[in-house]
Amino acid sequence: MVFLQQSLLVKACAVAFSLTAFTLSQQAFAGGTANDNQSTMGIATAGAGQAAEASDASVIFFNPAALTRFKRIEVLNVASIATFDNDYTSRQNNDGPPTDAGNQGSAGEFFSRKDGTDSALFIPGLFVAVPISPKLVVGFSASGSHGLLTRYREDFPGRGSGRESDLKVTRLNLGFGYKLTPTLSVGANGSYERYFQSIKLRVNFRDAVSKLGPPGTTALLDGLNTLGQAPPIPGETDAKLRILGWALNAQAGLLWEPSETTRVGMSYRPKTRFNGNQGKLTINENEDTAAFRNFLSTSPLIGLGGPILGVNGPQAAGDLEPEQGARQSVIFPDEFRLSIFHHYSPRLDLMATYTYQDYTSTFLRYERTSNGRVIEDVPQNFQVAHAYRIGLNYKAYKRLTLHAGYGMENGVVGDDLRIPILPDNDRRFYGIGATFTPSRDTTLSVAYGIIDVDAGEVGNNTQVTPVEVSGGEFKGIADLDADFVSFSLIQKF
């Protein structure tokens, strides 16, 4: 009776944990762009063996065919905490447009943003595998598939190009694995993805006016203000772009088991098209910005002089409305994975993964829903990402297994087009961890991982349009790294 009560208690706790993870999965987040940190053991091995190891139910995310490895119901709950280091270093004097206080960056000045609760995130995940028959296993997962978090100091020189960015894509997978022969399995996933993006920037009106009109426009408006014929050019204010959307997609996989000790897995997922992404552009308005917007819209001076200066006053005023509908079309890359798992000895497992992700169809363009006018178009010329990962499991004791892994991936944006809110570059993955199995039904895991992204040049992208929203001239080095601490519970039934 005591054993039965304990068993029911464990199951109840597992279900409660699963429901909590599912509820919070809408906040799921990942470092970098694509998120391979799905499980604690995956973090510990730096993502090696993703499509072949099948050490836990998170394999549904990488290769549904490998679900056939599960002979009992398994529920995996993951709870991770990610912290982010975010820096910018100026490479020139007079770096960036002057702040309202008249300050600019200087060569070698360091703008650090390594603290604050908004630089850390809780990342839950839920994965379930349910055998239906000796040949068929179905699975479900709720986790983050893509993500990015950047936080810069409010006065850093590239603030006009983006001061903060927050990207979260949550993926729900429903799939199956089916064993065709004793050595060959196939599988497929259907997925629903929820997209969220928030970008904050500092709008520098003086810099925008200087770019919108011919040389001398700011001096002219300052002179008109002195004569009482025009309001002052406003100081900086915050703007925020918030976008929500969704997409459907699928994934196919194969698992080949040529021997009891070796498995080879591969999967393919086509490009994800988020075509219905919509949201809002908000510009913080104050007395000065309202007066300036009214001046652009109704002043006879702008009506007469605007065409001469090449400025459409009413249109510019409309672009500065404090609340505007926004939309975005996004294409995420297709993904191909090839993994090998080899049980080398009773104590040692070796594994490796190659991942191909084609970002060449991805772009950053935001439009107003009311008139189709471009809010911002940021050319990036994204490239293909190739990732290589190796890892191992070492059984130190009967119930204790140690994990380690290393990986590397090339950046998909070059120095010429990189922007601060997407400081992508070549990166390395490091992971260590341990798994403790107190019983045949329960497994506990802990892991620590690092994503070490190379520092890269920003401020060289001169192709951002419209020109008035490109941000003041700046030249610097951006650096973004992430640390992960993860815990997980596997409960088998």
CA-based radius of gyration for the chain: 26
Report the pLDDT value the prediction gives residue 83, as an integer from 0 to 100: 87
Report the pLDDT value the prediction gives residue 442, as an integer from 0 to 100: 97
Report the C-alpha gap between 342 and 124 in whole angstroms: 29
Q: Which residues is 80 bridged to in the sheet?
A: 123, 486
432 CB-contact burial (10 Å; exposed 0-12 / middle 13-18 / buried 19+): middle
Backbone angles phi, psi at 295, to 5 degrees: -60, -45
pLDDT band at 3 (very low <50, low <70, confident <90, very high): very low
The answer to whether 476 and 458 are in contact (CB under 8 A) is yes
In the chain, pLDDT over 70 holds for what percent of residues?
Answer: 92
Q: Is the pTM of this model over 0.85?
A: yes
Report the pLDDT value the prediction gives residue 115, as an integer from 0 to 100: 64
pLDDT higher than threshold 60 for residue 26: no
Report the pLDDT value the prediction gives residue 484, as an integer from 0 to 100: 94
Angle, CA of 452, 457 and 459, to the nearest 5° = 135
Domain 2-284+322-492 = CATH 3.40.50.2000: no
Report the C-alpha gap between 311 and 299 in whole angstroms: 13
Q: Is 62 helix (H, G, I), strand (E, B) or coil?
A: helix
**333 torsion bin: left (phi>0), alpha (psi -120 to 50), beta (else):** beta
Per residue in 417-458, pLDDT (tens digit) is 999 999 999 999 999 999 999 999 999 999 999 999 999 999
Per residue in 305-316, pLDDT (tens digit) is 777 777 788 888
Domain coordinates in residue numbering, the chain: 2-284+322-492
Buried b (16+ CB within 10 A) or exposed e, 35-67: bbbbbbbbbbbbbbbbbbbbbbbbbbbbbbbbb
pLDDT higher than threshold 50 for residue 469: yes
Six token digits for residue 280: 């809002």
